[in-house]
Structure 1
Amino acid sequence: MLRNYFKIAMRNLWRNKGFSATNIFGLSIGIATCLLIMLYVLDEISYDRFYSNADRIYRLNSDIKFGGNQMSLAVMPAPTGAALVRDYPLVEAAARIRQTGSILVKKGNENIKEDGQNVGYADSTIFRVFSFPMLYGNPDKALTEPHTLVISERIAQKYFGESNVVGKTMILDDKQPYKVVGVIENLPTNSHLKIDFFLTMLDHEDSKIDNWVSHNYTTYLLLKEGVKPAQLEAVFDNLLLKYVGPQIKQAFGSTLNDLKKSGSYLNYSLMPVSDIHLYSDRVAEVSPNSNVQYVYIFSAVAFFILLIACINFMNLATARSANRAKEVGVRKVLGSYRSSLIYQFLTESILLTGIAFVLALGIGVILLPLFNDLSGKQMTMSVIEHPLIIPVLLLFTLFTGLLAGSYPAFFLSAFEPIQVLKGKLSQGAKSSSLRSSLVVFQFLASVFLIICTVVIYQQLTFIQNKQLGFNKEQVLIVNDASALGNSTESFKNEVLRLEEVKNGTITGYLPVPSWRSDNLYFPEGEIRQDKAVSIQSWNVDYDYIQTMGMQIIKGRDFDKQLPTDSSGIIINETAAKLFGYSNPIGRRISALTDFKTQQTRAYTIVGVVKNFNFESLRQNIGAVCFTLGNAPGSVSFRLSTENIPATISKIEAKWKTIAPGQPFNYQFMDEAFTNVYQSEQKVGKLFITFALLAIFIACLGLFGLSAYSAEQRTKEIGIRKVLGASISNIVALLSKDFLKLILIANGIAFPLAYWAMSTWLQDFAFKVNIQWWVFLIAGIAALLIALLTVSFQAIKAALINPVKSLRSE
């Protein structure tokens, strides 16, 4: 019987080649897209789940509101982890990581720059908390001595050409020898830790200071078996009272309760390591994270695309019902049961879906490299990496076939043979309200995706073009200026002699991802917690504001002719507001330089700079100030030339003259700014791609449906033409039913899209307003797409000679 079902199914598919090709192609595109999104979602939710004890690893977070500043931090005070292990038996082990920026690694006579995201100081217990497989070396003894490090196998191969390099020496920053005491496996790409160099924490002096108010260390805990995170979080208040309270009391004469009463707070919390990638967007993350919203969005998009493809199948199959009605009638007269007919139609559906799925796998394999480029991932369809992929795909094929074929099977098998054989079966698009509902759903999803795509594109464009309070265009940042040693100023002056260079400044503090330093400031003589203002404190030189293109709105810039400016300070508008100064020029404020001893340094406000965005546009502009000081992290130059490559070559030549053997690394400020929004850009590109695919699949179904609608109304069209109807009349006749459905889809999609995009935009402090014309464009676009799709078939039907369509009458 099954063989017979299969044979009949093959004959029907072959007899209706056009229908079969349309359905198979639409389904294969939908399934291939769904598979790619599924790989993306699986990769996103797999982050940091590969550790043997992942369910017991937690990161400590801190939430602080103090001095007019509110911060959610992924870092903790240096002594926190050790105190928890010492005082509370709930904790089995603790480990800290402190990232300190990029390093230079000696390879022969060459210095190679390693990105700061790949480098971190770490406690020796890091290998107890995390189950990093150590290929060579002893994890129990690693990082227990000064000037030692553990590297990944990739780094061992890169610098030594072999994996077992334990005992060998690496020269860092052109001066410090480090002994390799371990080589670990390369960390998987689905890890929020990207570190290849683990330097011993013993070499980081600040790690030994008993300071409970400075937050700089990413701290991980390994809880003991059976311990719930809530049990440990219950002791955090006692921890704060025991260690933080006395230091607050010593500095300000206030207790933690006094801080809470004034509206300030300090809270600690735990986050599972497996939640960090999708649920954490805090200050000082060890690497950029994603957002669980995108997982939900793309999961929904995959579902909708697959559903649209299945709807196409159901629409086309039911639209063809008239062509197979007599077949059903004859079968029933000859004794076929309805169940047999259902099995027959489901067999056809599963067979078609199986063919589509094989084609979809091929499409997926071909498109995966492009998809990896768009998403910034390294996903594969390897059965080894995804052992469940084969059974999942088989079940997926069966499910899709049953879902897509269920309605046609039950619909066709329900025909009454007497009515069918008398020719009384109703025909046309109007005969099925369900089919109309499915068309509405298809274009509802398409219009929804069009609106979301336009809003996402608007927001990304807004980010790129927003007035930031500084000019990011044509600013060249030369990184790792510390390699110049005492010649940094000479390098700057040499480059400024080039006619293509307008200005230059030496500092590691820039309004793009770079150095950051928080400090507490007070009105002079009022060192009290209720008077504290938390401010980003940046050391700059005399040329900083001019080079960055910032605007002084009150007072003046630093002046080389005024020696008193060594104790001068420039604040932004937010800082002035937090101090409550309407005219801050000449006011004296003090910076707290030592928390325990309450040592301060007084400054005179000489200027107020217009607010500028120095953090992500997801956040409101915080308080920042400039003081004159030495911070040679980078040298930035504003260029005034169109021939950028030639100018860079000249600057590089001067670098090599002053610092031979040191790598010349640079970036442009606008590129550094854009990199902050890599996640949104990738999501935007993916969303646009998927939206276009969804619209294409919907149009493919509408194309096939309009073809069958025209076929079923061939004689009606012939009669209308004989009676004088024009081609435009025929096109309008066949198009109006579909266009009504598109209008209904628009009415439902508009409020849904508005709600979804309003929710997404809430993550940005600076965002576009959703304009009414976005909905108008999306609605008109959907109508035009539908009209063009249907009109092709309508015109084709209208051009048929009525003699041919009526010759059987």
Structure 2
Amino acid sequence: MIRHFFQIAWRNLLKRKFYSFINITGLAIGMTCCVLISLYIRNELSYDQYHVKKDRIYRVLQTFRSVQDGETLSSATPGDYQVWGCAPVGPALQADFPEVEKVVQFMSPVSLLLEKGEKRFQQDNLLCMDSTAFDVFSWKMLYGDPRTALTAPNSIVLTHTVAQKFFGNENPVGQMLRVDSQYSYMITGVMEDVPPNSQFTFNGLISMSTVRKYRAEMFDWWGYVDFYTYVLLKKNTSISSLDKQSSSFVKRRNSGDKGYAISFEKMTDAYLHSAAKRQPGPTGSLLNVYLFSCIAVFIMLIACINFMNLSTARSLERAKEIGVRKVLGVRPSSLMIQFLSESILLSLSAAVIALVLAQASIPMIGKLSGKDLSYTNFLTPLLPFYMTAFAVVVGLLAGIYPAWFLSGFRAISVLKGKFKPPVEGVSFRKVLVVFQFTLSVALIAATAIVYSQLKYVNRHDLGFQKDQMLVLNFEGDEKVQQNIEIIKKAIADQPGVVSVAASRAVPGEFLPNAGTQIQTPQGQMAEQAPFIYEIDFDFIPTYHIPVIAGRPYSRSYTTDSAQAMVINEAAARLYGYTRPADAVGKKFDQWGRSGTIIGVVKDFNFRSLHQAVEPLTLRYGYSYSLNRISVAIKGDNVPETLAGLRKTWSQIVPHRPFLYQFLDESFSAQYEADQHFGQLFTFFSCLAIFIACLGLFGLSTFMAQQRVKEIGIRKVLGSSVSGIVILLSKDFIKLILIGIIIAVPLCWWAMDKWLQGFAYRINVGPLVFIEAGLIAMSVALITIAWQSVKAAMGNPVQSLRNE
């Protein structure tokens, strides 16, 4: 019987090739989208899951809030904590809590000049890490002993990619690398590259004992922040014990800091579920995962709706077949099984096509999403089983209503020729069309909002000059620092150079916080922890940062380099000054330097537009604290200017490579994840709209065929082509208008949630929804009009002869 059902199903597919093509194409594209989106979501959910002991690894979150005398530390919110903290907390936790098996700490990434013979590379993302790293994390060592690799000072473990740059495929353990032209590090191991689905993004590990060798004292400072701390709990223990005792632990260990508190976070929650600041690596968006999950469901629903609409609309074609079968004794349940068999066969055919399309599309989706979506993650042994199950479920979902609808026809009415499709079937089809275009309009509007926000981000006035700004990276090289003014002058003398400045960091880069006391309007010294830029005399004028009160640093004042500070408007407000001019002349105390505030600059976006402008101090930086040289250049002959700078650099700094980046490009890199989201969102939205139009095309074609005689009679009676097209289109237009009305509030709500991730955002007005509605209406009308015009221009004689 089952074989008979599938034979009949196959014959029906071949008999109605056009509608079978539309159904299979819609289902195939829908399934392809679902497979690709599921692959993307699976990648997002897999971050840090490769660690064998992941369920026992927790991060220590720390907060350093300012609490004045007489105040108490209220309960902190998740957003108050940061992953970046002090060093003493790790050993103290291990000493005080028997539940802690291991503690591993690492510092902020550094960039070092590595040399071996003639090979020389400026290698970024190197971490100083404890020797317990390989006991806690599941990183595979290719060469060397993981138990001792990070024990001795001046030891370094390279990743496989970095090791290959210097040594090819040979084992380099025991060989020496020259570091920053003054130190020698021994290679004690080579490990596999860190998986791409990891919050850790380093290229090598340096033993923490190397840092202790030169700066042992900072490992005892609770106020010095530059460490990330992870703890591994013993088996059969719970983090709740540490959570409950965290307050008493802090009071016991760091009673002098009333604003200090700690918390714990599961390592596997770091990528998608963490609200903590100062993350050690990339973070994802749980909202994006939900959005793409919804898009996958929407696309599949749209494809299934197409199937339902076409199957129920073509009910008259199969009415007699159903009537004859019922007269011959076929039960309604058997008819339902037959129609479901047709649906499942269609779905299985679509699944085969979807597998081929998905495999071919993986590289493109990987590029759009910026993720490493490999074939190995796609081609699993269980893939055929999953796809078959998925196809059966889709077939049942798409076919259950048409099967119930068709099997319910009354045999007597059908065979007497008195059968008319039930009104509820027509109404249900209208509901499905409305649902389709509700989703389509919402997706069009959402895509427009996403791109408008990204355009706004790229064009927003940041408050400083980032165009035609070249940043030379010398990563704190002592020889460069000692001759910084000579090097700046040599660069400034080059044709095409407008001005030159030096600083510890540039806008868009990592900044430290600094415990800073500033005199309040009441005359008291209040301590806060604003961000800090260490800059030279030329930084503010080179970046064209407006000074709105007081003055910038100047060589004309001998005290500016030791007893002066410039702050931004946000910092002035933080210390109680509503008028920036009132902060000028007030006392400050910061990192061993005291003096007066000489100026206030206008707030500028030194970080991503995801965050509001935060309090900032611009401190004069001595040469030993500088890492970057900013060069403002003319835009008329950039290649020639770069060539001249490269030549000058090789003459005055021959021991370092000429490393540069354009500030606008590096600053825009902060929005790379947003750009990938926009591209991926647009791609799948377009496919969803295409599937909806595909179904509409099939439905309008069928409707035109059903009304061919009516069209012929109207033409004979003098109706124009335009009048007939309007007649055939107006029912669809009404449904699309209803879809637009429903889509607007739904889309506004969803995109308002997404826009909340930006401190600086566009205002979503009615225009974007009007445009989305017009686009959807235009696409739908074009889809319908092709068949409508074709039917309207047909020869009425031929249509009236048809019987």
1:513 to 502, 509, 514: 509
1:806 to 795, 800, 803: 800
1:353 to 1:319, Cα distance in 2 relative to 1, 3 A: same
Q: Is the 8 A contact 1:428 1:712 kept in 2?
A: no
Q: Distance in 2 between matches of 1:272 and 1:602?
A: 41
Give the secondary structure class of the aligned counterpart of 1:277: coil
Give the secondary structure class of the aligned counterpart of 1:202: helix
Question: Which residue of structure 2 aligns with residue 613 of structure 1?
Answer: 605
Q: Distance in 1 between matches of 2:724 and 2:384?
A: 49
1:129 to 1:353, Cα distance in 2 relative to 1, 3 A: same
Q: Does 1:416 align with 2:414?
A: no
1:546 to 536, 541, 547: 541
2:231 to 221, 233, 258: 221
**What is the TM-score with the length of structure 1 in the denominator?**
0.93
Deviation at 1:192, TM superposition (A): 0.8
Q: Distance in 2 between matches of 1:526 and 1:591?
A: 17
Q: Is the 8 A contact 2:534 2:626 kept in 1?
A: no
Gaps of at least 5 residues in structure 2 are 69-75
CA offset digits 1:374-400 (Å, max 9, x no partner): 111111233787443332222111111
Q: Does 1:406 align with 2:400?
A: yes
Q: Does 1:277 align with 2:271?
A: yes
Give the secondary structure class of the aligned counterpart of 1:531: strand
Q: Distance in 2 between matches of 1:291 and 1:220?
A: 23
Question: Which residue of structure 2 aligns with residue 39 of structure 1?
Answer: 39
Deviation at 1:163, TM superposition (A): 5.5
2:81 to 68, 72, 81: 72
Q: Does 1:622 align with 2:631?
A: no
Q: Does 1:82 align with 2:103?
A: no
Q: Is the 8 A contact 1:524 1:602 kept in 2?
A: no
Question: Which residue of structure 2 aligns with residue 239 of structure 1?
Answer: 249
**What is the TM-score with the length of structure 2 in the denominator?**
0.94
Question: Which residue of structure 2 aligns with residue 591 of structure 1?
Answer: 589
1:9 to 1:661, Cα distance in 2 relative to 1, 3 A: farther
CA offset digits 1:98-137 (Å, max 9, x no partner): 1242222214313212222xx1000011111112222332
1:749 to 1:383, Cα distance in 2 relative to 1, 3 A: closer
1:230 to 220, 234, 240: 240
Deviation at 1:422, TM superposition (A): 2.4
Question: Which residue of structure 1 aligns with residue 632 of structure 2?
Answer: 638
Q: Distance in 1 between matches of 2:304 and 2:583?
A: 69
Give the secondary structure class of the aligned counterpart of 2:679: helix
Question: Which residue of structure 2 aligns with residue 664 of structure 1?
Answer: 658
CA offset digits 1:519-571 (Å, max 9, x no partner): 3223299997x711322232211111111111011122222122122222211
Deviation at 1:282, TM superposition (A): 3.7
- Trace 1:419-438 onto structure 2 (pairs within 5 A): 419-426=413-420, 431-438=425-432
Deviation at 1:186, TM superposition (A): 2.2
1:663 to 1:674, Cα distance in 2 relative to 1, 3 A: same
Q: Distance in 2 between matches of 1:577 and 1:447?
A: 44
Question: Which residue of structure 2 aligns with residue 501 of structure 1?
Answer: 497
CA offset digits 1:429-476 (Å, max 9, x no partner): 995211111111111111111111111111111111112111211111
Deviation at 1:60, TM superposition (A): 1.1
Deviates more, 1:31-40 or 1:421-430: 421-430
Question: Which residue of structure 1 aligns with residue 152 of structure 2?
Answer: 145
Q: Does 1:169 align with 2:167?
A: no
Q: Is the 8 A contact 1:212 1:243 kept in 2?
A: no
Q: Distance in 2 between matches of 1:664 and 1:745?
A: 58
Q: Does 1:129 align with 2:136?
A: yes
1:427 to 1:107, Cα distance in 2 relative to 1, 3 A: farther
1:741 to 1:585, Cα distance in 2 relative to 1, 3 A: closer
1:330 to 1:163, Cα distance in 2 relative to 1, 3 A: farther
Give the secondary structure class of the aligned counterpart of 1:164: coil
Q: Is the 8 A contact 1:383 1:389 kept in 2?
A: no
Deviates more, 1:500-509 or 1:131-140: 131-140
Give the secondary structure class of the aligned counterpart of 1:174: coil
Q: Is the 8 A contact 1:517 1:538 kept in 2?
A: no
Q: Distance in 2 between matches of 1:707 and 1:269?
A: 63
The letter for the 2-side match of 1:102 is S
Give the secondary structure class of the aligned counterpart of 1:448: helix
CA offset digits 1:707-750 (Å, max 9, x no partner): 11111111121222222211111111111111111111111111
Deviation at 1:494, TM superposition (A): 1.7
Question: Which residue of structure 2 aligns with residue 388 of structure 1?
Answer: 382
Question: Which residue of structure 2 aligns with residue 492 of structure 1?
Answer: 488
Q: Is the 8 A contact 1:67 1:531 kept in 2?
A: no
Question: Which residue of structure 2 aligns with residue 604 of structure 1?
Answer: 596
Q: Is the 8 A contact 1:62 1:74 kept in 2?
A: yes
Question: Which residue of structure 1 aligns with residue 71 of structure 2?
Answer: none
Task: Please report the RMSD computed on the Cα atoms of aligned residues, expressed in angstroms.
Answer: 2.2
Q: Distance in 1 between matches of 2:576 and 2:372?
A: 51
Give the secondary structure class of the aligned counterpart of 1:121: strand
Question: Which residue of structure 2 aligns with residue 261 of structure 1?
Answer: none
Q: Is the 8 A contact 1:502 1:638 kept in 2?
A: yes
Q: Distance in 2 between matches of 1:429 and 1:540?
A: 76
Deviates more, 1:714-723 or 1:45-54: 714-723
Q: Is the 8 A contact 2:405 2:425 kept in 1?
A: no
Q: Is the 8 A contact 1:47 1:274 kept in 2?
A: yes
Question: Which residue of structure 2 aligns with residue 113 of structure 1?
Answer: 122
The letter for the 2-side match of 1:496 is A
- Trace 1:626-705 onto structure 2 (pairs within 5 A): 626-629=618-621, 630=623, 631-705=625-699
Q: Is the 8 A contact 2:308 2:402 kept in 1?
A: yes
Give the secondary structure class of the aligned counterpart of 1:73: coil
Q: Is the 8 A contact 1:555 1:585 kept in 2?
A: no
Q: Distance in 1 between matches of 2:784 and 2:699?
A: 9
- Trace 1:575-586 onto structure 2 (pairs within 5 A): 575-581=571-577, 582=579, 583-584=581-582, 586=584
Gaps of at least 5 residues in structure 1 are 249-255, 257-264, 594-599
Q: Distance in 2 between matches of 1:431 and 1:98?
A: 66
Q: Is the 8 A contact 1:309 1:697 kept in 2?
A: yes
1:669 to 1:384, Cα distance in 2 relative to 1, 3 A: closer
Deviates more, 1:740-749 or 1:533-542: 533-542
Q: Is the 8 A contact 1:281 1:289 kept in 2?
A: no
What is the number of equivalent residue pairs in this alignment?
Answer: 784
2:557 to 553, 562, 580: 562
Deviation at 1:692, TM superposition (A): 0.9
CA offset digits 1:548-595 (Å, max 9, x no partner): 1110111222221221222222111122222334334652423243xx
1:612 to 1:754, Cα distance in 2 relative to 1, 3 A: same
Q: Is the 8 A contact 1:524 1:590 kept in 2?
A: no
Give the secondary structure class of the aligned counterpart of 2:5: helix
2:199 to 170, 173, 192: 192
